[in-house]
Amino acid sequence: MKIDKRGKYQPIKHILIYACVLLLALSWQGCLQRMPVSESYFALAEGNSWLYEGKEENVPIEVEITIQKPDPSFGLPSEVLDLSVTGTAGAFKLSEEGLFLEVSPGEVKLLGVRKMGSPPVFFRNPYIWLKEPLRTGDEYSTEISGNPTPKKMIVEKTIKERTPWGVKDGFLLKEKTNGSLQTGAQVVFVPYIGFTSLSLPGWFKVRLKDADIR
């Protein structure tokens, strides 16, 4: 895993990586437009992008996430994707942190790079391995070497989630530590749409504002 050469903890970048880890699907296209719905459960496809908004001490915050092909020099297969983040948190790519997405029908994996090269050498086991559909009670390991992410997240329950296009069925995921649920990390996911709300320790709370997905 890449280590910050300046030796400083960069909470916004790491929390964004963590947010991407969980499912990396954020969506909707505008309050007055038809709600965009992905063809895939986790809404991961090249070119998909999502815009979050929030406030920190009454200062507006925006973060945009886009799924894209990795640099061709990596020589990776088509199912392996990269992710870029721009906005208030700055600009960076998931690959710069030694992480890639592997997307195939019905599942998505977060791959960690053991040795960077062309192509990169990945660890044998993925950091995250999500399979559709999510179910209440499902638990996922979300611990990433070199990043301050929770060790586990659990699908606590189904909820009615407020969106710019009305109320939709979604899942509430919470951090689980030492066998009990925590109030720290909390996200909401809607199938074929993505994360609609992110509330994570050490970071501001944001909600989905706009998106372009297929």
Per DSSP, 96 falls in state: G
pLDDT value of residue 8: 43
pLDDT at site 181: 53
Question: By CB neighbour count within 10 A (0-12 exposed, 13-18 middle, 19+ buried), where does 117 fall?
Answer: exposed
Residue 171, beta-bridge partner list? 158, 189
pLDDT recorded at residue 9: 43
Q: Which helix (H) or strand (E) holds 200?
A: none
**Helix H segments across 46-198?**
none
State the pLDDT at residue 6. 44
DSSP 3-state helix, strand, coil percentages of the chain (rounded to 5)? 10, 50, 45
List of the chain residues with pLDDT < 50:
1-9, 23-32
What are the tens digits of pLDDT across the range 42-95?
888 999 988 889 988 888 999 898 999 999 999 999 999 999 989 887 899 999
The pLDDT assigned to 29 comes to: 32
pLDDT of residue 15: 59
pLDDT value for 3: 38
Measure the CA–CA gap between 196 and 178, rounded to whole angstroms. 27
pLDDT of 109 reads 92
